[in-house]
């Protein structure tokens, strides 16, 4: 009898401690798993314009140039509910009087390559800033500078900030200015050839209201061009 009772006591003790252990384990794994990892990921609703040229020419004499993928880009995944949040949003530019087109055309939804769809800004380092109207979680920024002919735009830097003057919580999400011509810091990303796919930049859910894009001329001339900027995200919690 006495032995039985001891066994029962020992048995419930073991059950209790394994329950405690399981709870502890669950608690630990819950704290280390980020909330986002549990969200369902789906391709962002990105619509591409018609290409004006096939493939990518190999004869561009540009240093530090990324090798073309040779196939369509894989769909970009983000949490379900992430949508295009930049269409029709206000844009400001360092060159307030573009020589071709209007600043508003950067977020008008027209991504065509042809004349009448791109905006031409002055030479040298220029920037354009999209105001999303409120803080958003940003997952992707896609930019089309010019895709009528294959071109490489220089010193492409993309930044996020909380304020329009880019003084508060400034983060750089893309920078291929490897020798710091722009004075924004040297970047490690490579030069790339513009295509109808645009350049897709992973913003990893960073919170910001403003998106700023710099460029500093291109391999054909000193001017800066922009067809469209698209930002995919959702309102910040
Ligand atoms: Ca446009
Ligand atoms: Ca540079």
- In three state form, how does the secondary structure of 106-141 look? HHCCCCCCCCCCCEEECCCEEEEEEEEEEEEEEEEE
Q: Are residues 101 and 210 in the same domain?
A: yes
The whole-number average pLDDT for the span 176-192 is: 98
Ligand at minimal distance from the CA of 176 is 2
Q: Residue 193: which CATH number?
A: 2.60.120.260
Measured distance CA(136)–CA(139) in Å, rounded: 9
Cα(202) to centroid(ligand 1), Å: 21
Cα(119) to centroid(ligand 1), Å: 8
Ligand at minimal distance from the CA of 117 is 1
Write out pLDDT tens, residues 192-236: 999 999 999 999 999 999 999 999 999 999 999 999 999 999 999
Measured distance CA(163)–CA(161) in Å, rounded: 6
Q: Are residues 73 and 119 in the same domain?
A: yes
The whole-number average pLDDT for the span 14-26 is: 47
Cα(139) to centroid(ligand 2), Å: 26
Whole-number pLDDT of residue 35: 52
Cα(59) to centroid(ligand 2), Å: 20
Ligand at minimal distance from the CA of 64 is 2
Q: Are residues 99 and 171 in the same domain?
A: yes
Structural domain of residue 45, as residue ranges? 39-235
Measured distance CA(54)–CA(72) in Å, rounded: 11
Among 85, 79, 202, 169, smallest CA distance to 134 is for 85
Whole-number pLDDT of residue 38: 80
Cα(124) to centroid(ligand 1), Å: 21
Q: Are 225 and 145 in contact (CB under 8 A)?
A: yes
Among 189, 130, 120, smallest CA distance to 154 is for 189
Ligand at minimal distance from the CA of 191 is 2
131 Cβ partners below 8 Å, 6+ apart?
Answer: 89, 90, 91, 92, 164, 209, 210
Task: Measure Cα distances from 101 to 50, 83, 119 in Å.
Answer: 20, 27, 5
Write out pLDDT tens, residues 111-170: 999 999 999 999 999 999 999 999 999 999 999 999 999 999 999 999 999 999 999 999
Q: Are residues 87 and 22 in the same domain?
A: no
**Domain count for the chain:** 2
Cα(78) to centroid(ligand 2), Å: 31
Q: Are 125 and 216 in contact (CB under 8 A)?
A: yes
Whole-number pLDDT of residue 24: 46
- Per-residue confidence band for 27, with pLDDT thresholds at 50, 70 and 90: very low
Cα(119) to centroid(ligand 2), Å: 22
Whole-number pLDDT of residue 6: 45
Task: Measure Cα distances from 153 to 17, 218, 230, 234 in Å.
Answer: 63, 4, 18, 29
């Amino acid at each position: 009898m006495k032995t039985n009772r001891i066994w029962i006591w020992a048995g419930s003790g073991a059950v209790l401690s394994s329950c405690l252990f399981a709870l502890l384990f669950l608690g630990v794994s819950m704290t280390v798993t980020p909330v986002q990892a549990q969200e369902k990921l789906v391709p962002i609703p990105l619509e591409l314009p018609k290409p004006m040229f096939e493939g990518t020419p190999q004869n561009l004499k540009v240093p530090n140039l990324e090798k073309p993928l040779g196939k369509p880009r894989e769909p970009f995944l983000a949490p379900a509910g992430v949508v295009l949040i930049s269409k029709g949003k206000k844009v400001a530019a360092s060159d307030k009087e573009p020589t071709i087109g209007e600043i508003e055309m950067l977020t008008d939804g027209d991504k065509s390559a042809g004349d009448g769809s791109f905006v031409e800004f002055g030479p040298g380092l220029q920037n354009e800033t999209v105001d999303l109207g409120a803080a958003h979680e940003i997952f992707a920024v896609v930019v089309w500078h010019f895709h009528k002919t294959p071109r490489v735009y220089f010193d492409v830097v993309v930044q996020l900030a909380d304020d329009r003057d880019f003084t508060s919580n400034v983060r750089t999400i893309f920078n291929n200015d490897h020798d710091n011509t722009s004075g924004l810091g040297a970047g490690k990303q490579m030069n790339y050839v513009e295509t109808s796919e645009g350049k897709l930049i992973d913003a990893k859910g960073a919170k910001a209201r403003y998106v700023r894009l710099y460029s500093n001329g291109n391999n054909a001339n000193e001017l800066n061009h922009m067809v469209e900027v698209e930002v995919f995200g959702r309102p910040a919690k």
